[in-house]
Structure formats: C-alpha cells, structure tokens
A and B are shown apart, each in its own frame.
Chain A
Amino acid sequence: MENRHERFEPRIVGFLCNWCSYTGADLAGTSRMKSAPNLRIIRVMCSGRVDPNFILRAFQLGADGVLVAGCHPGDCHYQEGNFKALRRVSFLRRLLRELGVDERRLRLEWISAAEGEKFAKVSNEFTEQVRALGPLRLAVGEERPAAKELEEVTVR
C-alpha cells in the first residue's frame, strides 16, 4: 500500500500480434522471465489489425502508455501487416503530439516468437520510461472509470 503511494505504477496497454509477439510473451512466461506487470496485453491476429482508434481509445480510457508489437519486418505471418502497423503508428505519433500526448508514450516494437527475453526487456524498459513520464492526465472525467475510491478498494 505504501509502495503504491511512493511509486507511480503506470497502466500500459500492449497490442501483441498472435504469431510473434504474443508467442514471444508466452515464451517469456514459460521461461519464467520477470517482466513488469504493468503491461496489460490484448492479443490481435496481426499488428496490422491495430486500428489507431484503439490506441486513442486506450489513452482515453486511462492508459499511460501503449505498446504495439509485431513480427520483425519480412517475418509477418500475413506477409506485410507489420508494415501497415509501422505506417499507422508513425502517423499517430504526430497526431498524439498535436493532442498534447508525449509521443514516447506510444511504442512500436518487433518481437519474434523466439524473443521472450526481448519481450521481457521491452516491457520492463517501457514501463520504466512511462513511469518516468508520469501519469497521463487526459482530463476526461466520465470516460475514466478509475475513480479514486475504486482504486482504494481494489488495490491490495
């Protein structure tokens, strides 16, 4: 409890592609690698499925950072979905800047199914980075379900 007050625990949403990054995360888990619990994972079939709206929605719902992870360029299970993700994320970064959101809160990574270690490293690093940036205060009260009381009750 004290810990929570001392240290800011960012909430990070990770969109992981089914074939590479999600499997990589799985590998990190089965290999018992320690990775930050701040990353909350949503599995998508391909990083190309990640609609920029999802990312904006995540920030709107209170995420402090968003990670999009896909296969390495050339290794996409769907041939080129990761390139689409690359284009969308780069574009969205510029948009985020205009919205006043630090673009470092959005990160794109290529993590293959074999890179459990990289997954753990990225999630730890990104968590620390977002922690350093501090909470994202998007003042959209009613959209944010994280009421203070609720937090008090649920966080052990």
Chain B
Amino acid sequence: MIRVTIDGVTTQVPERTTILRAAKFLEIKIPTLCYHPLLKPFGACRICVVGVKKGLGLEMVTACNTPCEDGMEVVTQAPELLRARRLVVELMLARWPNVAVIQRLAAELGLDRPRFTSPVRDERPDACILCLRCVRICEEVVGASAIGYEDRGIHRRVATPFNQESEACIGCGACAHVCPSGHIRFEGEDYRGRPAEFLLGPNTAIYVPTAQAVPKVPRIDPESCIHFKTGACESCAAVCEPGAINHKMRDEEIELEVGQVLIATGYDLFDAAPAAQYGYGRLDNTYTALDIERMLNATGPTGGRVLLKNGQPPRAVGIIHCVGSRDENYHRYCSRVCCMYALKFAHLIKERCPQAEVYNFYIDMRAFGKGYEEFYSRVLHEGANVIRGRVAEVVQAGWSKQEEGTLLIRCEDTLIGKFREIPVDMVILCNAIEPKRDAAHLARIFGLSRSPDGFFLERHPKLDPVATTTDGLFIAGCAQGPKDIPDSVAQASAAAARMLATISKGVVEIDPIRAEVDEALCSGCRTCVPLCPYNAIEYLEAKKISQVNSTLCKGCGTCVAACPSGAISGYGFTDAQVNAELEGILAL
C-alpha cells in the first residue's frame, strides 16, 4: 500500500492504482470523457488532467493513466488545471458544438461559446467525438475487433474495415452502450426477452431471474453472453469485487443413490402460434397468460402496469379461454386453472386500468374450488364482461387511422345466439397446460405409464392418485395432470407423506408374488439364469441347482414360463392355477 494525498486528503491505496481511481475512492470528482471503468486507460481526451506537486510547481498529468506514487500530492482544482481543461473542452466545443456531453462539460467549466472555428465543424447532436471507447471495447472486452479507426489527424474517424458491413461484428451492442454521444446506435432488435420475461422486457446476458428468485443470485445466459461467443469480455467478473463470477462453470451430471423418487416435473405451455386463428406471434399485443403474469407482477418488466406495445394503457382487453384445451384439434382435456386465472386477470386489469373494458370469452365457467364461485361473482360485479362462446379468430381491425393497431375478436355469443365482433387492443390467451415435452423420455427412464393425454399415470385414479405402478415412484402436480396450486400442494404433501412413511418404517413391504425353485425338480440347466432382468436367479454350484433371491425377484414369471422341468413356480400364478383358470373360463 502506498500513501497518496489528493486535494489535501490522504489515503492508502494499492500500488499501481491510477490517480483517477484513488480520487474516485475518495469521492473527489475528476471530469472524464474517454475513460471507461472496463477499458484500459487511454488518455486521449486530456480532460482528466490533474496537478502533481513537484518542488514549487505543479506537473500536469492525466489522472486516468498515471499511477499513484508513494507520498504523491495531487491537486484537482488549481486555476491552471481548470484553464487547461477549459481549453481542451473549448476546442472540442468548436468542433462539435451540439453534442450534449461536451455541452455539459463546457457548462461545468463556465464556457459559453468557443473562440475558435473548426475546419471540420460537425453540428450533428450525435456527432462522433473520437473518444474511441467503441473501438477499444470491441477489441479489449468483446474481443471481436470489428471496428477501428481510419485516416489521421483531424480526418480520423471510426469505421468498419473498408466501410463494409463487418463480418467480425457479433451484434452485441457494446459499442453503442459505451458511446457517450449516441453516434453509434444499435438498429433492429434492440432487446431480447429472457425466459422469465417472455416477449416483454429488455434483458442483459447476466440477470437475476426474478425479484423473488431463490437463491437470489444472478445467472449468466450462455446464449447471449459475449464471453461464450468470443471468449473475451468477462466484464461482470471485472466489476464483481468478491470475485463471485466463474465463467468456467458447466452443467454437470451428478449421480445420487436414492430409494424413492417424487416426479413433479410440472407442465409446458401449449404453443399458440400454430393455432393461427388466435394471432399469437403474428399480431401485436397478443400475449399468453404467462406473459401477462409477468406484466402484472410488480417486479416485472413494466413494473406491474398493463401496457400495450406502444406504451399506452389498453382501452379494451379480450381474454380467450380454452386455447388448445377442450379442443378436438389439440387437447380434449380441460386445463382446469385457466378460468380462475382469467378472472384474476380481469380483476387486476380492472384495478389497474379502470377505464378499460375486459371481455372473457369462455366455453363454460369452471369456478369449482373453495371461494372460486364467489370470486367469479365479485369480478362480474366489478364490471368485467363475460361472453359464452368459442372465439373463431382474432384479426387486425380495419385500416382507418382511428382503428390502427386494434384487434377484432370474432366469436359467437351463444347466450344471445348472435355472431359478434368485439374490438380490443390487447388479447390474452389462456394456453392449455401440456405434458412436459420430455415426458416420454422421462417415462422411459422410470418405466412409468402415461395416460392418453400424455400425463403420467397414477396407480389408481381414486384410491391411489399419488403412487405409480412402480414401487417408490410417486407423482405430484401437473406432471400427473392439469391442476391448480392448492391441488398440487395437496398431492405433493400426500406423496411426501407416503415417502416419509416408508422411510420411518425402516422396512419395505414387497408383494408376495415371487418365483421359487423346487430344489427336487431343478435339473440345474440354468435356462432361467440369463432370462431374469433383475439378476435374481443364482446358480448354486455346490447343489447344482438354481435359486431365486426372493428380495430381488419382482415376480414377472418369465423364468417360470421358461423352466423346461417345471421346477419354478410363481406364487399366485402357478401353472396349476393358470390351467385351472383356463379350464374354468373355457368350461362353457
């Protein structure tokens, strides 16, 4: 550590700390222009000039790239320093009179109008001021080196090679981000949604998934992180003081030995884009329920406000129930949760945009739970409209100026027996709950059955709705079928209790259906041994017979059927029993 005094305040800083950083630590402001904390000091703009006491005079140095020395005394506000800064800014102002960042610096230094005229005067408010932050960040941080500068002296300018579209550019937008004058703009898609924000919000490559995330730590999206594209950047690691960011972490497979498994893999949302009549992904301001859920969330991308894409509150909102469910073309089942959350949306939209009309288009209103019907009538009293009838299609309304951007929901109102067209400017789709896309794969891994709708099958729909046909495997929540939160909690609690019951008992009861070898009949041929999928049959060398390990045996009976001597019998399904059954059913 070395001692340094800035404007009379003494502090200790590590060696090689620049004067600018030391001043920042002491909260002494030194104006800068080309400096950026992520970039190497450059010293191009000369605005950060400070004085270092040498003998009786002051040595003028740039604070951004001069390291502190032990015992150094620095002043930042001496009259000659201000004069020097003023001259630099005055020259800049002469060349770029309308750039906001330079105007601000000039105002701070008490400059009104420059005394000079520039041969390359550029009056654009977003003129390039040649700080070269963009060139440097592209090279130093992004590692792409897609832009550079060409020509010399007053003709120097920032450009891509040969002024062609640069192939090295990865479109990260870092240059636009650091540009102080707004000369570089990022055109086209200026944000992409992260999974949690769907289509709604801006995003960075490193983010905290939600405000209530547990654990509340940021995560890196490898799809958009520059480090995973060019191997450079690591800006987040550079600014993270505790050094908590590790770019080398990878997904890993961990093997655990467990006795019981609870499968609660949840659901996927029906993709409404192929159902083109609803306009999802095609028409602006059509959202899925999860999009709206984020929008209504106080920590969501709009801070809980209901907004159209143009930033205005909606005047009319249409909520379409049963998108993909109760539909012969997609899923025949009812997704169960939509009616209630659609009513919740109606309630919240009425609360946040009281002037907006809300229309619910439903087939049947299924307010089946405790307190649900009461909520339904409350929402009706709040003035939400409900229309019984399936929506035929959502179309763009006519092209008049007044109607611009509005949508038209065409439906049949089955209660008045009329075809209706309702103009709205926001459409919310209640997409069906679907089995997870990898449900088939998971079923194969665990040997689970699935019901015709694709959800995991329970052992018995009424008597055993949490267990599966495989011992020790339990299912809960939407993995078993669409259900709301109270039902999921109830089922998961039941499954957990079942699992704990087995654990606390300490013993596992097994079905009495087992195979057994009659030692007297076994010829020791070993036909059965390779047939057993559980390696439960052992050949006893000493006795020259095979023996079934009754703990491993699951009682499938494959060996029983194969035994040429008829020495193996399966309890409950012996040859004699099956033959007797045969005689019985064929007696008539």
Q: Are A42 and B581 in contact (CB under 8 A)?
A: yes
* A contact residues around B582 at 8 Å (CB): 13, 42, 54, 57-58, 61
Task: List which B515-573 residues lie within 8 A (CB) of chain A.
Answer: 531, 533-534, 554-558, 560-562, 570, 572-573
Q: Are A49 and B585 in contact (CB under 8 A)?
A: no
A105 close to chain B: CB less than 8 A: no
B575 close to chain A: CB less than 8 A: yes
Known: A49-B573, A151-B588. Contact between A77 and B447, CB under 8 A? yes
* A contact residues around B470 at 8 Å (CB): 77
Q: Are B558 and A81 in contact (CB under 8 A)?
A: yes
Q: Are B452 and A88 in contact (CB under 8 A)?
A: no
Q: Are A13 and B560 in contact (CB under 8 A)?
A: no
Known: A58-B586, A114-B457. Contact between A19 and B554, CB under 8 A? no
Number of A-B contacts (CB under 8 A): 110
Once bound together, how far apart are the Cα atoms of A62 and B572, in whole Å?
24
Known: A49-B557, A81-B533, A112-B449. Contact between A40 and B586, CB under 8 A? yes
Pick from A50, A63, A78: contact of B586, CB below 8 A.
A63
B587 close to chain A: CB less than 8 A: yes
Known: A77-B469, A81-B533. Contact between A113 and B449, CB under 8 A? yes
A84 close to chain B: CB less than 8 A: yes
Task: List which A73-105 residues lie within 8 A (CB) of chain B.
Answer: 74-81, 84, 88
Known: A49-B561, A62-B586, A84-B561. Contact between A79 and B579, CB under 8 A? no
Pick from A44, A63, A115: contact of B573, CB below 8 A.
A44
Once bound together, how far apart are the Cα atoms of A114 and B440, in whole Å?
13
A141 close to chain B: CB less than 8 A: no
Pick from A19, A51, A76, A115: contact of B561, CB below 8 A.
A51
B450 close to chain A: CB less than 8 A: yes
Q: Are B588 and A48 in contact (CB under 8 A)?
A: no
Once bound together, how far apart are the Cα atoms of A63 and B457, in whole Å?
34
Pick from B469, B573, B586: contact of A61, CB below 8 A.
B586
A154 close to chain B: CB less than 8 A: yes
Q: Are B533 and A50 in contact (CB under 8 A)?
A: no
B312 close to chain A: CB less than 8 A: no
Residue of B nearest to A52 (CB): B561
Task: List which B454-476 residues lie within 8 A (CB) of chain A.
Answer: 457, 469-470
Q: Are A78 and B556 in contact (CB under 8 A)?
A: yes
Residue of B nearest to A31 (CB): B452
Tell me if B's interface is mostly helix, strand, loop or mixed.
Answer: loop
B164 close to chain A: CB less than 8 A: no
Shortest B290–chain A CB gap in Å is 28
Residue of B nearest to A113 (CB): B449
* B contact residues around A114 at 8 Å (CB): 449-452, 457
Residue of A nearest to B570 (CB): A49
Pick from B452, B469, B558: contact of A49, CB below 8 A.
B558
Task: List which A21-51 residues lie within 8 A (CB) of chain B.
Answer: 23, 40, 42, 44-46, 48-51
Q: Are A78 and B451 in contact (CB under 8 A)?
A: no
Once bound together, how far apart are the Cα atoms of A40 and B584, in whole Å?
10
Q: Are B583 and A145 in contact (CB under 8 A)?
A: yes
Known: A54-B582, A58-B582, A80-B533. Contact between A146 and B561, CB under 8 A? no
Once bound together, how far apart are the Cα atoms of A155 and B534, in whole Å?
46
Q: Are A45 and B533 in contact (CB under 8 A)?
A: no
A69 close to chain B: CB less than 8 A: no
Q: Are B449 and A49 in contact (CB under 8 A)?
A: no
Q: Which of A58, A78, A146, A151 has the most CB of B within 10 A?
A: A78
Shortest B537–chain A CB gap in Å is 13
Q: Are B587 and A46 in contact (CB under 8 A)?
A: no
B39 close to chain A: CB less than 8 A: no
Once bound together, how far apart are the Cα atoms of A116 and B450, in whole Å?
12
Task: List which B285-321 residues lie within 8 A (CB) of chain A.
Answer: none
Once bound together, how far apart are the Cα atoms of A13 and B586, in whole Å?
8
Once bound together, how far apart are the Cα atoms of A131 and B294, in whole Å?
62
Q: Are A11 and B570 in contact (CB under 8 A)?
A: no
Q: Are B578 and A44 in contact (CB under 8 A)?
A: yes
For B9-24 the 0/1 string (1 means CB < 8 A from A) is 0000000000000000
B444 close to chain A: CB less than 8 A: yes
B513 close to chain A: CB less than 8 A: yes
Once bound together, how far apart are the Cα atoms of A75 and B457, in whole Å?
13
A120 close to chain B: CB less than 8 A: no
Once bound together, how far apart are the Cα atoms of A20 and B449, in whole Å?
8
A150 close to chain B: CB less than 8 A: yes
Once bound together, how far apart are the Cα atoms of A23 and B468, in whole Å?
13
Shortest A54–chain B CB gap in Å is 6
Once bound together, how far apart are the Cα atoms of A112 and B534, in whole Å?
22
Once bound together, how far apart are the Cα atoms of A53 and B564, in whole Å?
11
Shortest B513–chain A CB gap in Å is 6
Known: A44-B557, A49-B557, A115-B452. Contact between A13 and B583, CB under 8 A? no
Known: A62-B586, A146-B588. Contact between A46 and B579, CB under 8 A? no
The 7 closest A-B pairs by CB, nearest first: A49-B557, A78-B556, A48-B558, A79-B533, A46-B556, A51-B561, A40-B585
A selection of 11 A-B contacts at a CB cut-off of 8 Å is A45-B513, A45-B570, A46-B558, A48-B557, A61-B586, A79-B447, A80-B533, A84-B531, A112-B449, A151-B588, A155-B588
Q: Given A58-B582, A61-B582, 13 other A-B contacts at CB below 8 A? A: A19-B469, A23-B469, A42-B585, A44-B557, A45-B556, A49-B556, A54-B582, A76-B447, A79-B447, A79-B533, A114-B457, A145-B583, A146-B588
